[in-house]
Homo-oligomer: A and B are copies of this chain.
Amino acid sequence: MSDTFAVIGGDAAGMSAASKAKRENPDHDVIVFEKGEWVSYAACGMPYYIKGEVDELDDLVAVTPEEFREKRDVDLRRDAEVVDIDRETQTVTVETNEETYEQPYDDLLVATGASAIEPPFDGLGLEGVFTIHDMDEADAIEDYVTEHDPGTAAIVGGGYVGIEMAEALSARGVDVHLYEMLPHVLQPFGEAVAEIVEDHLREQGVDLHLETAVSGFGGDKRIDGVELEDETVSADVAIVGVGVTPNADLAESAGIELGSTGAIATDEYGRTNDERIYAAGDCAEATNVVTGEPDHVPLALTANRAGRAIGQTVTGAPTATGGTAGTAIVKAFELGAARTGIVNEDQARQAGFDPVSITISASTRAHYYPDGAELTVTLMADHESGRLLGGTVVGREGAKRIDTVAMALTAGMTVTELQNADLAYAPPFSPVWDPILTAAKVLNGKLG
């Protein structure tokens, strides 16, 4: 009899694992349980659907259920929720609309994802108040905007989702108010990026309310306002994007250990404390390549890569899931902003480093070549060792240059090693010293 690999969750990590396992060993039985309808979809694309740049929600689906079943021979079961894991008998309990049944497994992957945090706001249930945690919600927002043509939107939270939705709703002709409790948007990107993004958001007509706590929403059946400490501001639609929390309850109930981040703890192969049970994606921890410590970075590449590695491991070729540098990039209207590693001094100190950082601005092209843009680069390093800890970039072009910094972190490079990297130069593409190299030079000067 062939082995059974059961997967809980049909998005990035789960489907990557299932596809890879089946490809590596077609005799392996691979079953995926997905509690909803949608599988293998690009959640990151949802704001662009609402914005109107992506025609159909279906366009965000990377691989259709039919392809998984027919071409990849994966036993995909939708509307099938795993409600219990019995580690003793190696069995999961599955609930569908029609029945409840038990499914034995040899290896199990928990890829249950994360959920949008729902803060304790009044009026969260009003019509026109949305989180944007899945495809059905994206569909509902699009429908609502089309149907009600809202004049004013309240976006709560200045993270990726908030900023992408500000762009999307502005493009739909909605007046956007963005509320952020902290002094700056994009907290994980640091002040240098935040201040540039904030200026740009204002230029683009976004009404930015920093250090402003929202307590809830007003309205009868449908939202008509957002409640602040001292006032109520009118709003015809609201998007709450204040972060996500790992869906770890199912695993925890089965005695699978969580890490200090609240996500499922794993080893370098994505294995939990039960050697037959793996976890990957937004519900799981990954190792931070800078600190060497477990981290929770719920992003798509980490999920896909870990899933794929686990698909290889369960079919006989143990493959490390790879670490995370916390690399992220976001489009804010005309700007690109990106980060990697540690860029916060307190975090650096907590991780045992003595942080030194600099911020520079430089052109993305030769000074005389047309249409260059200013790229602002921040780099942080450890004083004593000179080791690079992290960086950010922001500008109208060139934000993907963060990858150069991410590569330096992956390799554990010092600032001098980064400064000596042989990057590509020609006038249409870069100054002789790429802005990242210029930043490394300046940081090296400060390190002494």
Q: A-side interface residues toward B, CB under 8 Å? A: 12, 42, 44-45, 48, 53-54, 59-60, 62, 160, 289, 299-302, 304-305, 320, 322-331, 336, 338, 340, 366-370, 398-404, 406-411, 413, 417, 419-430, 432-434, 437
Shortest Cβ gap from A391 to chain B (Å): 11
Residue numbers in B under 8 Å from A305 (CB-CB): 420
Residue numbers in B under 8 Å from A437 (CB-CB): 301
Asked if A53 meets B370 with Cβ closer than 8 Å, knowing A338-B424, A400-B400, the reply is yes
Residue numbers in B under 8 Å from A326 (CB-CB): 422
C-alpha gap A398/B429 in the complex (Å): 10
Residue numbers in B under 8 Å from A324 (CB-CB): 422
Partner of A301, one of B323, B409, B433: B433
Shortest Cβ gap from A171 to chain B (Å): 12
> Is A426 a contact of B53 with CB atoms below 8 Å?
no
C-alpha gap A289/B423 in the complex (Å): 13
Q: Which of A44, A320, A409 has the most CB of B within 10 A?
A: A44
Asked if A429 meets B399 with Cβ closer than 8 Å, knowing A327-B422, A406-B421, A407-B404, the reply is yes
C-alpha gap A355/B328 in the complex (Å): 33
Partner of A406, one of B53, B299, B340, B422: B422
> Is B45 a contact of A368 with CB atoms below 8 Å?
yes
Residue numbers in B under 8 Å from A304 (CB-CB): 432-433
Please give me the residue from chain B that is nearest to A305 by CB atom.
B420
Residue numbers in B under 8 Å from A340 (CB-CB): 422, 424
Residue numbers in B under 8 Å from A409 (CB-CB): 422
Residue numbers in B under 8 Å from A42 (CB-CB): 366, 368, 427, 432
Residue numbers in B under 8 Å from A59 (CB-CB): 368
Partner of A12, one of B299, B302, B336, B432: B432
C-alpha gap A267/B368 in the complex (Å): 34
Shortest Cβ gap from A395 to chain B (Å): 12
Further 17 A-B residue pairs, CB within 8 A, beyond A289-B422, A410-B417, A411-B413: A48-B427, A59-B368, A301-B422, A301-B432, A301-B437, A320-B420, A323-B420, A329-B426, A330-B426, A331-B429, A340-B422, A398-B400, A400-B424, A403-B421, A404-B407, A407-B408, A409-B422
Shortest Cβ gap from A401 to chain B (Å): 7
C-alpha gap A129/B369 in the complex (Å): 26
Residue numbers in B under 8 Å from A399 (CB-CB): 424, 429
Residue numbers in B under 8 Å from A44 (CB-CB): 366, 425-427
Shortest Cβ gap from A51 to chain B (Å): 10
> Is A424 a contact of B368 with CB atoms below 8 Å?
no
Asked if A422 meets B323 with Cβ closer than 8 Å, knowing A42-B427, A411-B411, the reply is yes
Please give me the residue from chain B that is nearest to A331 by CB atom.
B428
C-alpha gap A402/B42 in the complex (Å): 26
Asked if A329 meets B424 with Cβ closer than 8 Å, knowing A60-B368, A411-B411, the reply is yes
